[in-house]
């Protein structure tokens, strides 16, 4: 498993949580989890698929889909130029990679978000890939697992980004009608329109430890309500305690937990 982009190359890295200086290979071999404090570093979408599929083997689906520029959006640079820059830096596939393979021998489809591509923002490509993943699950009677890691909807696509929330949610409703399992895995961070749609719609919602999960960020909420938020607000453990999640699972146990959950739907 290759180290993620935000875990810098070199012999040593510094843990964001405990500030310990760690041997890079030790962290990489520990599924990008700090061996001192259990802080979960972010992973790429490809690493997620390798971690969850048997022997890290899977078939990538819907690779050629690309975003267009419906609004002619320009901020510090034109949206098409921004997309090209992220594609060069991160690779093709936009902010979602969909793979099909086996999880402990059971065929499944996993849709994993790529935070390094524009903050994992959900645009029309993410929505279309999720919709096609759902259609494939319906056609082949397969379970769907999503791994969310996102800052929310992509502003450069305006309402076309926001409509993906309803589009995906409608597809998941069809899966539920057919009795096909959908398991949602929420990682750090899962926010905005992704949280407000498919990330919280799982038959079973699982989060990694310490993940930030919410719609608006805690600073925005504090400034709006002008109150101090509780300790650990919007973190996985807080949400589990308040009934928003079904379980919080360490990364090393995630594949086994998903496989166990899938047996409940047989």
Handedness of CA 118, 229, 34, 248 (dihedral sign): negative
State the pLDDT confidence band at 2, using cuts at 50, 70 and 90: very low
Query: How many Cα atoms within 13 Å fall on the side-chain side of residue 138?
Result: 15
pLDDT of residue 9: 59
pLDDT digits (tens, 9 = 90+) for 40-90: 999 999 999 999 999 999 999 999 999 999 999 999 999 999 999 999 999
pLDDT of residue 3: 41
Percent pLDDT > 70 in the chain is 97
- Structure-model confidence comparison of residues 186 and 92, the more confident one: 186
Pull the structure tokens for residue 10.
């070199």
Q: Which of 117, 183, 186 is nearest to 148 (CA)?
A: 186
Average pLDDT over residues 89-100: 95
Average pLDDT over residues 13-35: 94
* Rounded alpha-carbon distances, angstroms, from residue 196 to 24, 95, 189: 36, 17, 13
Using an 8 Å Cβ cutoff, are 41 and 212 in contact?
Answer: no
Q: In order of start, what are the domains of the chain with their CATH numbers?
A: 1-41 (no CATH), 43-263 (3.90.226.10)
pLDDT of residue 86: 97
Pull the structure tokens for residue 51.
């971690």
What is the spatial distance between Cα 224 and Cα 10, in angstroms, rounded to a whole number? Answer: 42
What is the spatial distance between Cα 79 and Cα 86, in angstroms, rounded to a whole number? Answer: 11
Beta bridge partner(s), residue 144: 109, 182
pLDDT digits (tens, 9 = 90+) for 154-209: 999 999 999 999 999 999 999 999 999 999 999 999 999 999 999 999 999 999 99
């Amino acid at each position: 498993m290759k180290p993620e982009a935000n875990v810098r190359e070199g012999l040593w890295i510094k843990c964001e949580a405990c500030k310990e200086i760690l041997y890079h290979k030790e962290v990489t071999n520990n599924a990008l989890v700090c061996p001192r404090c259990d802080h979960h570093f972010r992973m790429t979408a490809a690493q997620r698929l390798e971690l969850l599929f048997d022997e890290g083997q899977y078939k990538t689906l819907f690779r050629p889909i690309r975003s267009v520029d419906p609004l002619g959006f320009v901020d510090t640079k034109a949206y098409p130029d921004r997309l090209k820059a992220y594609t060069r830096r991160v690779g093709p596939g936009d902010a979602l990679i969909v793979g099909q393979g086996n999880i402990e021998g059971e065929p499944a489809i996993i849709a994993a978000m790529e935070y390094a591509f524009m903050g994992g923002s959900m645009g029309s490509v993410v929505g279309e890939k999720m919709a096609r993943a759902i259609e494939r699950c319906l056609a082949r009677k397969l379970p769907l697992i999503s791994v969310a890691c996102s800052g929310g909807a992509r502003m450069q696509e305006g309402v076309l980004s926001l409509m993906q929330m309803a589009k995906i949610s409608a597809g998941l409703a069809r899966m539920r009608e057919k009795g096909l399992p959908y398991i949602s895995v929420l990682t750090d961070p899962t926010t905005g329109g992704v949280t407000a749609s498919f990330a919280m719609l799982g038959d079973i919602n699982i989060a990694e430890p310490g993940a930030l999960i919410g719609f608006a960020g805690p600073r925005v909420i504090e400034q709006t309500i002008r109150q101090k938020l509780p300790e650990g607000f919007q973190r996985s453990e807080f949400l589990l305690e308040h009934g928003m999640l079904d379980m919080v699972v360490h990364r090393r146990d995630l594949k086994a937990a998903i496989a166990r959950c899938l047996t409940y739907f047989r």
